[in-house]
């Protein structure tokens, strides 16, 4: 491929990619155009505002409380990270009053070490029923009956136990409370996600410097994980695939050894301050074929079309329609048929790598300021290769903004300063 632009991946006369070792501190400075060194993690003031919003939604929906199992939603509202086990540790956000906790008695001291907001901790002994305690706490708070909202990740034995203990109460989905709260990100949340994306962009570039003939995907994955941690991120994943295996959107179990002419796909993410990144890059190890260049450039156009379709007030599905149309118009598909785009064009992202605002047919949810999602219209060519360029965006008053800028070309996965 002829190119006059300075490339991150320099093609040698032998057709091999020559990628010099990168000074990661310089690379970080070059790619990080904003100074996020002083970004605070989420503070109690913001958590209390989240709880206030949840309580307003509870009252609007005529619900008496939201019950949270240990997991992401509990962390979102309370700041508490707790490993879920058969011993229920729950948070209760009542329609009025402060947040309350249900905690195993022998864990109370450890719980108090991590508690950030709320003063009421109700404990239960090993032989006691924690779900009866949930109902008693609600009654003591003045709620004798009504609808109890259960967040979506609550394990069945917990919701079933509350249902059996709570005569006069009805269990309903907590989605009308948790989704509107978590869907719209604050400026601080977006700043944390930006930092996570900056870290992953550097980690991918670092991983690419180790590409060599005969290497395995896991070797590159390990390098990316190490760089994530070195830069202050919590490593989440680094899915690396070579050659035919790249035609499987989420990788393959077959043995892969890198050889000249292989597509290399790297799908990676980390967490920073509790917020996720998700970036995919696709390059060729060696000289790309005409077919590889053709599909890569089609993928780039499809991603750009998805980005252009992300307009405030329009439904999420429009992003999928626009990206998919580019691919179908080029003779692939239609729909999810292969060769073509086998899945939705994007997913929501925030504290979880995948959240609700999917860019998929049928999702009429209107795009709003503060929503964050990926744009990643994979093109899979069975038994040959796949190409995916994935970057995430956040919606602003003036439209979508990239967390990481898309690849300029097949031999330049990231922009250079």
Q: Work out the end-to-end distance of the chain between its first and last CA atoms, rounded to an integer number of angstroms.
A: 22
pLDDT at 37: 57
- Domain ends where: 135, 157, 182? 182
Please report whether residue 134 resides in a domain.
yes
Same domain, 196 and 293: yes
Same domain, 196 and 80: no
pLDDT at 8: 41
pLDDT at 252: 74
Model confidence at 36, pLDDT cuts 50, 70, 90, reads: very low
Averaged over 222-238, what is the pLDDT? Answer: 98
Q: What are phi and psi of 281, to 5 degrees?
A: -130, 145
- Domain ends where: 130, 163, 182? 182
Please report whether residue 174 resides in a domain.
yes
Task: Judge contact between 216 and 257, C-beta under 8 A.
Answer: yes
Buried b / exposed e over 374-406, threshold 16 CB at 10 Å, is bbbbbbbbeebbbbbbbbbbbbeeeebeebbeb
Please report whether residue 31 resides in a domain.
no
Same domain, 199 and 266: yes
pLDDT at 14: 30
Model confidence at 233, pLDDT cuts 50, 70, 90, reads: very high
pLDDT at 253: 75
Averaged over 13-42, what is the pLDDT? Answer: 48
Q: Is the dihedral of CA 317, 320, 321, 323 positive or negative?
A: positive
Averaged over 75-92, what is the pLDDT? Answer: 97
The pLDDT of residue 15 is above 90: no
| Environment class of 344 (CB within 10 Å of its CB; exposed 0-12, middle 13-18, buried 19+) | buried
Same domain, 151 and 273: no
The pLDDT of residue 241 is above 70: yes
Averaged over 238-258, what is the pLDDT? Answer: 89
Same domain, 217 and 269: yes
Same domain, 249 and 319: yes
Please report whether residue 322 resides in a domain.
yes
Averaged over 299-322, what is the pLDDT? Answer: 98
Same domain, 266 and 168: no
The pLDDT of residue 6 is above 80: no
> Residue 264's domain is classified under what CATH number?
3.90.230.10
Same domain, 237 and 328: yes
Least confident of 12-21, 56-65, 129-138, 233-242: 12-21
Q: Which of 182, 148, 169, 205 is nearest to 20 (CA)?
A: 205
Domain of 332? 184-402
Q: Which of 301, 252, 260 is nearest to 284 (CA)?
A: 260
Same domain, 133 and 211: no
The pLDDT of residue 4 is above 50: no
Please report whether residue 93 resides in a domain.
yes
Residue 5 backbone zone (phi > 0: left; psi -120 to 50: alpha; other: beta)? beta
Least confident of 4-18, 71-85, 175-189, 338-352: 4-18
Q: Which residues contact 346 (CB under 8 A, 6 or more apart)?
A: 306, 319, 320, 358, 359, 373, 374, 375, 376
pTM, entire model: 0.90
At 88-130, the pLDDT tens digits run 999 999 999 999 999 999 999 999 999 999 999 999 999 999 9
Q: Give the percent of the chain with pLDDT over 70.
A: 91
Averaged over 233-254, what is the pLDDT? Answer: 90
pLDDT at 417: 62
Q: How many domains does the chain have?
A: 2
Q: What are phi and psi of 18, to 5 degrees?
A: -110, 110
Q: What is the DSSP string of 257-276?
A: ---TTEEEEEEEEEEETTEE
- Helices vs strands, H then E, count in the chain: 11, 19
Averaged over 179-193, what is the pLDDT? Answer: 97
What are the strands of the beta sheet with 63-68, ordered from one edge?
Answer: 120-124, 100-104, 90-94, 63-68, 146-150, 169-173
More confident of the two residues 37 and 78: 78
pLDDT at 13: 28
Same domain, 152 and 172: yes
Same domain, 143 and 265: no
Model confidence at 24, pLDDT cuts 50, 70, 90, reads: very low
Please report whether residue 38 resides in a domain.
no
pLDDT at 250: 78
The pLDDT of residue 369 is above 60: yes
Please report whether residue 19 resides in a domain.
no
How large is the angle between the packed helices 187-208 and 24-31, nearest 10 degrees? 140
Same domain, 190 and 164: no
> Residue 130's domain is classified under what CATH number?
3.40.350.10
The pLDDT of residue 25 is above 90: no
HSE-up of residue 178 (Cα within 13 Å, Cβ side):
28
Please report whether residue 298 resides in a domain.
yes
Beta bridge partners of 57: none
Least confident of 4-8, 293-297, 391-395: 4-8
- Domain ends where: 122, 157, 182? 182
């Amino acid at each position: 491929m002829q190119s006059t632009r300075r490339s991150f991946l320099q093609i040698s006369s032998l057709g091999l990619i020559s990628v010099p070792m990168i000074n990661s501190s310089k690379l970080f400075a070059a790619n990080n155009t904003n100074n996020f060194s002083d970004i605070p993690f989420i503070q109690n003031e913001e958590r209390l505002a989240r709880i206030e919003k949840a309580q307003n939604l509870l009252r609007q929906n005529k619900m008496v409380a939201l019950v949270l199992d240990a997991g992401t939603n509990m962390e979102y509202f309370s700041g508490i990270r707790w490993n879920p086990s058969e011993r229920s540790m729950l948070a209760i956000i009542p329609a009025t009053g402060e947040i309350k906790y249900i905690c195993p008695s022998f864990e109370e001291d450890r719980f108090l070490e991590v508690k950030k907001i709320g003063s009421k901790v109700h404990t239960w002994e090993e032989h006691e029923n924690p779900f009866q305690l949930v109902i008693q706490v609600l009654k003591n708070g003045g709620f004798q009956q009504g609808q109890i909202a259960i967040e979506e990740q609550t394990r069945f034995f917990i919701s079933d136990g509350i249902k059996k203990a709570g005569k006069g109460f009805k269990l309903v989905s907590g989605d009308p409370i948790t989704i509107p709260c978590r869907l719209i990100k604050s400026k601080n949340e977006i700043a944390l996600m930006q930092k996570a994306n900056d870290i992953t962009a550097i980690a991918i570039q670092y991983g690419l410097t180790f590409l060599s003939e005969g290497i395995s995907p896991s070797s590159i994955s390990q390098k990316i994980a190490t760089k994530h941690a070195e830069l202050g991120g919590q490593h989440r994943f680094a899915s690396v695939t070579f050659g035919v295996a790249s035609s499987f959107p989420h990788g393959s179990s077959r043995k892969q050894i890198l050889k000249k002419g292989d597509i290399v796909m790297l799908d990676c993410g980390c967490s920073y301050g509790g917020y996720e990144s998700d970036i995919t890059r696709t390059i060729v190890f060696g000289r790309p074929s005409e077919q590889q260049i053709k599909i890569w450039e089609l993928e780039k156009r499809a991603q750009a079309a998805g980005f252009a379709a992300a307009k405030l007030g329009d439904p999420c599905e429009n992003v999928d329609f626009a990206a998919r149309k580019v691919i179908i118009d080029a003779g692939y598909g239609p729909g999810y048929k292969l060769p073509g785009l086998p899945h939705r064009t994007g997913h929501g992202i925030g504290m979880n790598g995948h959240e609700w605002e999917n860019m998929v047919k049928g999702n009429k949810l209107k795009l709003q300021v503060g929503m964050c999602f990926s744009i990643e219209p994979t093109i899979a060519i069975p038994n040959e290769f796949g190409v995916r360029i994935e970057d995430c965006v956040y919606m602003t008053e003036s439209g979508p903004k990239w967390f990481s800028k898309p690849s300029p070309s097949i031999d330049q996965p990231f922009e250079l300063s």
